[in-house]
Amino acid sequence: MKKHRNLPFFVPFAGCPFRCKFCSQEKITGCEGSAETLSAELDSFDSMMLHAGDLSKTENQIAFFGGSFTGIPKARMIALLERAQTYIERGYASSIRISTRPDLIDDEVLELLVRYRVTDVELGVQSMDDEVLRLSGRGHTAKDSRVAAERLQKHSVRFTGQMMLALPGSDERKELATAHEICSMGAVSARIYPTVVFEGTELYDMTVRGEYIPLDDLTAAKRTVPCLETFISLGVRVLKIGLQSSKELSTAPFGPRDGSLAELAYGFLYAKRIIEQVSGNAAGKTLNIFLPRGEISKFTGHKGVVLQELKQALLPACINLREDGTLSVPNVKIQIEG
Ligand code: SF4
């Protein structure tokens, strides 16, 4: 079976009616479809396709990310989609995915997207709590996300729900409810982004004024666990946890800046499952913990923080971490000795 691969083409802030309080996408000025900017954009699209890779091994999907694709002026949107078609017709990719805001999805735009072989839409749901959306300056409501999800299903377009943690006014209960609702709205996959505070955003000013308290890496990873568990248990694939590792992320002034937040979050998910399974019977005993292949680093990475917390919670005499190739992520098997 061929491996799925996204060929990401970034259209930062394109189509966004305004900037959300936390957003640091760089605004592209003069990209409203003038001949020169569009032609430069299409040229850079062509150079991105040079990285299409070995077509016998990968099934590529062209991905327009970084803005609100369906808010881009129609002529520019169609020019981008048409350029993408030329590569689909030549076999470089099989389909297209886009990301957009829930309030920029209507039947007309969906008919256009489907015509141009867009099979997946990533919706920036962020939260299903209207107060959180308002405090984050999103400019849409939870109802907009529900309506958008229904429209996507009507047009047989798959939907990925993007949600954020620790937005202004948010808490674990609201985040868990958001994860549940993304599943019940029919998402096939999800992305979880703990909020990072970048300079130049309104959220940065709020943080400096003490009106917003950002999370640190460990708290962000732990706070991810209930949502991650919900998606896994309801069969919704988690495509990403945390922002892509980058210089911009590692130098962000506040918030979780660890580019491998997913590793930590899965580590804490394993730890939670182990503690539940052992249920207080491990003190002074030897625990043999069997993990799926390649997962031991979730315990030993980040200076072994997950392993340390497990030891503190269970007080075992000894913990042995072992691989079991028959287990799938994130399942775990435990033997207690002594
Ligand atoms: S809609 Fe998305 S890309 Fe646009 S400003 Fe808001 S968060 Fe940023």
Same domain (yes/no): 219, 308: no
Instruction: Say if 165 falls within a structural domain.
Output: yes
Same domain (yes/no): 14, 126: yes
pLDDT in the model for residue 259: 87
Q: How far apart are CA 76 and CA 61, in angstroms?
A: 20
Q: Dihedral through CA 262, CA 264, CA 269, CA 272, nearest 10? A: -170
Same domain (yes/no): 286, 201: no
Report how far ligand 1's centroid is from the alpha carbon of 82 (Å).
24
Same domain (yes/no): 176, 292: no
Domain coverage including residue 179: 3-259
**CATH code of residue 33:** 3.20.20.70
pLDDT in the model for residue 115: 97
Same domain (yes/no): 139, 190: yes
Instruction: Say if 267 falls within a structural domain.
Output: no
Instruction: Say if 264 falls within a structural domain.
Output: no
pLDDT in the model for residue 35: 52
Q: Name residues of the chain where pLDDT drops below 70.
A: 25-38
Report how far ligand 1's centroid is from the alpha carbon of 66 (Å).
8
Same domain (yes/no): 138, 162: yes
Report how far ligand 1's centroid is from the alpha carbon of 101 (Å).
8
Last residue in a domain, options 213, 232, 259: 259
Residue ID of nearest Cα to ligand 1 atom 2: 67
Closest approach atom of ligand 1 to CA 67? 3
Number of structural domains (the chain) is 2
**Top mutation candidate among 10, 18, 20, 26 for ligand 1, by most atoms within 8 Å of CB:** 20
Same domain (yes/no): 147, 281: no
Task: Identify the three-state secondary structure at position 65.
Answer: strand
Closest approach atom of ligand 1 to CA 126? 7
pLDDT in the model for residue 246: 86
What is the edge-to-edge ordering of all strands in the sheet holding 3-10?
3-10, 58-65, 95-100, 118-126, 158-165, 189-194, 237-241
Task: Identify the three-state secondary structure at position 266.
Answer: helix
Closest approach atom of ligand 1 to CA 15? 4
Task: Give residue ranges with CB within 6 A of ligand 1.
Answer: 13, 16, 19-20, 23, 25, 67-68, 101, 124
Instruction: Say if 69 falls within a structural domain.
Output: yes
pLDDT in the model for residue 27: 33
pLDDT in the model for residue 59: 87
pLDDT in the model for residue 196: 95
Last residue in a domain, options 229, 259, 289: 259
Instruction: Say if 33 falls within a structural domain.
Output: yes
Quote the tokens at residue 20.
């959300």
pLDDT in the model for residue 26: 55
Query: Structure pTM?
Result: 0.93
Same domain (yes/no): 221, 323: no
Instruction: Say if 269 falls within a structural domain.
Output: no
